[in-house]
Every structure is written in structure tokens, then in C-alpha cells.
Amino acid sequence: MTVETECVEYKESTTELEDAVLALSAMLNKNGYGKVIFGAKNDGTLVGQDIGKDTLKTISQHIQNFVEPRVIPTIEVTELEKGKGAITVAVSGLNRPYAYKNNIYIRSGEENKKVPITELRQMFQSYSDLLKDTVAFRQDLTFNGLVGRLRAKGLHVNDDRKLYDNYELMRIDGKFNIQAELLSDQNKVPLTAVVFDGTDRTAISIRKDFSGRNLFDELEQVQMFAESMNENRVVMEGLVRKETQQFEMDAFREAWVNACAHNTWTLGIPPTVQFFSDRVEIISNGSIPYIQTTEEFFNGRSMPINESLMRIFIAAGISEHTGHGVPVIVREYGREAFEITGGTVKVTLRYRFERNGSMVQHSLKDKNPETAKILQYLSINPECTLSELSEIVGIKRGTLGKIIIKLQQEGVLAREGSKRSGSWKVMQNNNASEPKNGDA
């Protein structure tokens, strides 16, 4: 036998029936299953107990009379010496939360803790999947993007009722839910990446909203933006060329996918990515599930907030249901990378070296904010086209072209290579002795 766990408790006899059934209700609330063994010591050693003709009936009736919602136990007897036996009582169910004698308990290790009234709302939210229960604002939805992703993974799907039912995009009343709206071609919820000047939120350098696409497309657009922001530094160690990323991209991806998968979307606040001169922050709204301990979270135990959405993340190849994301981040940045409150989860990835972009901004402090923003972005994304830059900085294409030509004439900006395949170079020194001419 083994020691007591979150799913197993030992009792020497059925004289402890009330404590045993209370423990079963707590196990149901934590894991959806549990068992109690009567006739066993705390270390799991079987000693047996007397079993009368009504013993098993008494156990079954006590569970059915005092546990709500009702559960039907499985009861087995293991015969021991001298006419005694051990009784194993197992229960399972996902209709949580379960109450014992009108009180709700949660299993934590080997303890059964009563849930305070002030925490019941949070507990109920952990069990409910509001994304699939809440009706969408729009009902004229299509899913071409989602279907394409699922087909790319070898799944035979179409934009039809079978898709809606299999991936829980539609409520029982035939209306699309919020989950469907997020994954639709008509999704209006933007994902935002913001670049700040310096280490605080005083001045915004770049704000990029990714919208008008399904959640998976927008998620990947933000990820590509982060990749463009992630500078590399090359160091020669002897004859070996060593390249170091400013921040670990694998850790960023895990944090960002988790933020999108576990965000409390029903609040109407999407997750965001914020870049500073010394760090990048990934912020999602909500918190870890009520039934999950902090230790379980850091050890990678997977308890998705949005269970049905997570299933689609996995089917589309966006995520894996392995729980390895948090350990990946902890391995690179430690537990201190996480800040978990009752309302948000923030992951902070500290830079390994200073941003070149911030040094360019410093050398251009006499430029107006509009020009500084252009140079800041081109220093980070030298292959950016003027059309892309126009959208990002919010300046009309014609006006932007004139600014670019002026910067080239001033020797602040240079074009290397052809118009079609070349790149931009932001000069670190404003006071160039000779202006450089070139076409935008």
C-alpha cells in the first residue's frame, strides 16, 4: 500500500464514516475522483475491520444522502484473516462543485479544506467553461481560417454543423458562443503589442494592433512581431561563433500561447505583449484555477481555464497538452518571472543585453516623436517596407515617403541594396558630414 495522497485516504474503520465521505467530496472537487479505504492504517497497512450485513449499505446511503450533486460509489471488499476485511470506496464525477452536508471542501495534499464563502465565486468560475456557455454578439460567422488550419493537421473538417458540435462552437440552443467568435473569420478582438521608450510606460514608441483575423492568426502575428524585436548578439569564442538572443524565444512562445489559451476572454480584455528597454512582459487576464496550487502550476500540471478552447489549440497544433510550458520559462528565467494575482498573470522576460534600438533613440533625442518612432522601428526591422511602416506608425504612405527622403538627405537613414530586396540602416551619429541621397 501507499501513503495518503490527494486521491486516497485511509480510515481504520467505518466509525470514521463522516470524515471519510467529507474527504471524498473534497477529492471530487479537486480531481474529479477519489477513494477511501476502511480497515487500513495511515501508512496504508491493511488491518481490516468487522463487516456486518448492513455495513456496505450504510456507506452507500450516507454518500447518496449527504453529497450533492449525487454520486454513486463503487464499493469493493478485500477479505483478510480472522473474518475481517478492507473496504474500498471509490467515487468519480465532473459535476463540480460537490458539497457535503451543505459545505464545500477542497483537497490540498492530504488535507480537506473548507472553501470560504468569499472564494466560492472564484471556485465556480474555475469549474465553468464560460466561453462555450456565453452567446456570441455576432451570429453570421464563418470559419475558413480555422478549417484551413485543422485540414493542414490532417483533419477532415468543413465549415458545417459537425465542426461546430465537435469543437463546441455552438450552444445547445443553436447559437454561436464566444469561443466561436474568437476563432471565426469575423473576430473583432485585437491582440496588441506595445513598445515603450525606457523601463516604464511613460512614452509609447510603437503600438501595433493585430485584428480582423481569427485568434490563431493574430496570435502568430504577435509572435512574428516579437521575433522581429528579438535582437541577436554574436560573440566569437576562439574560432567558435556564438549567437545569443536578447530574450529566449521558446520561453516567449510558451508564455504567449498560454496567455491566449488561458485568458478570461469573457471579460472582454485580451492578453498583451509589452516591450521595454530592459524586458518584455506578457500579460493575461484571470488567474490560475482555484483548485490548482502554486506548486502544481510551477511543476507543469495542466489545468486549462478554457478547457474546450485548449482542445482546439491542441487540434490546430498551436499548443500541446503536456504542461511543459511553465517549466520551460522557469528553467530560463526562474519562478520570479511570474507574477500571479487574483486578476492577472504576468510573465517578465529580462533582456540579456541592452537594446540597440534604445541607443538609437537616445542619439536621436532631438528629433520629433514621429520621426523618432520611424527610426526606432527601422532600427529593429530594417527590411520593413514603407507600406508596412505606414500602417505601424500611423502615417499616410505619401507623407511617410517625404519623411524618409528627408532623413536620407540628412544622413540619418541609409538604404542598402535595391528597392525590392534591400534594407534600411539607421546611422548612430546624426551629424554626418555628407548627406546621403536615395530613393524611398
DSSP string, 52-64: -TTHHHHHHHHHH
Split at pLDDT 50, 70, 90, the class of 70 is very high
Same domain, 235 and 110: no
Coil/strand/helix, residue 163: helix
Same domain, 251 and 380: no
Split at pLDDT 50, 70, 90, the class of 127 is low
Split at pLDDT 50, 70, 90, the class of 431 is very low
Q: What are the DSSP calls for 200-220, one per residue?
A: SSSEEEEEEEE-SS-HHHHHH
The confidence score (pLDDT) of residue 434 equals 38
The confidence score (pLDDT) of residue 370 equals 75
We report the CATH number of the domain holding residue 405 as 1.10.10.10
Q: What angle do CA 146, 221, 151 make, to 5 degrees?
A: 25
Instruction: Mention every residue, 6+ apart, whose C-beta is less than 8 A from residue 160.
Output: none
Q: pTM to 2 decimals?
A: 0.62
Lowest mean pLDDT among 49-58, 231-240, 302-311, 381-390: 231-240
The residue behind cell 514621429 is 370
The confidence score (pLDDT) of residue 358 equals 44
Residue 123 within a domain: no
Structure confidence by residue, pLDDT tens digits, 222-235: 999 998 888 887 76
Question: What is the strand order of the sheet 344-350 is part of?
Answer: 203-210, 191-197, 272-275, 279-285, 344-350, 338-340
Q: Supply the range of the domain harboring residue 398.
A: 358-426
Instruction: Mention every residue, 6+ apart, whose C-beta is less than 8 A from residue 362.
Output: none
Among residues 183, 212, 228, which one ends one of the domains?
Answer: 183
- First vs last Cα of the chain: how many Å apart? 76
Q: Do 67 and 17 form a contact (C-beta atoms < 8 A)?
A: no
Same domain, 151 and 15: no
The confidence score (pLDDT) of residue 154 equals 92
174: left (phi over 0), alpha (psi -120 to 50) or beta: left
Q: How many helices (H) and strands (E) does the chain have?
A: 16, 18
Is the pLDDT at 221 greater than 70, yes or no?
Answer: yes
Secondary element (H or E) of residue 100 = strand 99-100
C-alpha cell, 329: 520559462
Same domain, 219 and 342: yes
Secondary element (H or E) of residue 194 = strand 191-197
Same domain, 332 and 231: yes
Split at pLDDT 50, 70, 90, the class of 379 is confident
Q: What's the alpha-carbon Rg for the chain, to the nearest Å?
A: 29
